[in-house]
Amino acid sequence: MTSTLKLLVLEDAEADFRLIVRHLRQRGFEADCQRVARLGELDRALTFDDIDAVLAHYHVPGLEIQDSLTRIRADALGLRLLYQPLVDQHTARISGYQSVGTVHG
């Protein structure tokens, strides 16, 4: 029995979020994905949701990456964090996510 991976996705565009979910499913990953685009949503998700990993888009208007990383480091020790430093809008590739490791205190 495989467990479902709970992912928190920092992404402002609903269409891009759907591409991520589709990409994961096409590759056989069972993932329960939650999109956040505001700092308050991120705080709530980190406080109340059981998250396994975070996929963070580098540029989300209203959700600065440094603020996001600070919140994640403060509230989610042991959480796996991946971020996408650059977006290829023409090919809609999401393979560019890079691991920044496990969050430590």
Those residues of the chain that have pLDDT short of 50 are 1, 86-87, 89-96, 98-101, 103-105
Residue 61 has a pLDDT of 83
Q: How far is residue 10's CA from residue 83's CA, in Å, rounded to a whole number?
A: 9
CB atoms within 10 A of CB 63: 21
- Verdict on whether the full-model pTM lies above 0.85: no
Going from the N-terminus, what domains does the chain have, and what CATH number goes with each?
5-102 (3.40.50.2300)
**What pLDDT is attached to residue 92?**
45
Place of tokens 């991976």: 5
